[in-house]
Amino acid sequence: MLLDSGTSNLLSVQRALDHVGADVVIADQPSMLDDADRLILPGVGAFGHCVANLIENGLFDAVLDYARRERPLLGICVGMQMLFDGSEEFGWNDGLGLLPGRVQPIPMSGADGGRHKIPHIGWATLERSGPDWAGTFLEGFGRDRAVYFVHSFSARPEAVSDILAFADYDGIQLTAAVRRDNIMGTQFHPEKSGQAGLGILSRFLAM
């Protein structure tokens, strides 16, 4: 099931899911999540606006209830950021609190002190945080394959064990993918990442 939070371009995600053979249902009512066996939470734009839309549409508590039933949940881009305790974007805004940690601005300069472009836009490879991706939606993902990012803020999980992958941006490690049990997320856009991204969506659907 694909959640319509009112703050994302559902069409590109829906097309990617259709391409990998998913039976896509777009949910815009809380009751629609009751029988979902998988849920994808996309999001674009400002964190606070995305959360406010979830609350306004009665979907905030519905997502929490869904997640607490230990069913697979995948957040994409701001959808991943909303899984955390909150974000510092335009002041503090509470998130879903499913993963401990906060979302903070990407540093304005690289590890060498040189300024770099914000937002971070473009293709980047993934670096493992742990020893292996076996049993996750990144299983079998080639470390030479790139995925597509567009973001100005980056999640900082409290537990290193929740981080699946980083992306390097001029020597700065940006959280690229997370997982804790049934709660998963990608800062990058799998739906815009070609065959590599389609493979990630396929593995999530097979979990």
152: tokens are 């100005």
One-letter amino acid identity for 169? Y
Instruction: State the catalytic residue, choosing from 89, 120, 151, 191.
Output: 191
Residue 191 annotated among the catalytic residues of the structure: yes
Instruction: State the catalytic residue, choosing from 89, 120, 151, 189.
Output: 189
**Look-up: residue for tokens 């803020």?**
153
Question: Could you check whether the bond before residue 42 is cis, i.e. omega within 30 degrees of 0?
Answer: no
Instruction: State the catalytic residue, choosing from 77, 89, 120, 151.
Output: 77
Q: Where are the alpha helices (DSSP H) in 27-137?
A: 47-56, 59-68, 78-81
Residue 50 annotated among the catalytic residues of the structure: no
- What kind and span of H or E run contains 150? strand 146-151
**Look-up: residue for tokens 């490690």?**
173
**Look-up: residue for tokens 């914000």?**
118
Residue 77 annotated among the catalytic residues of the structure: yes
Residue pair 40/1 in contact (Cβ under 8 Å)? The answer is yes
Residues annotated catalytic, as ranges? 77, 189, 191
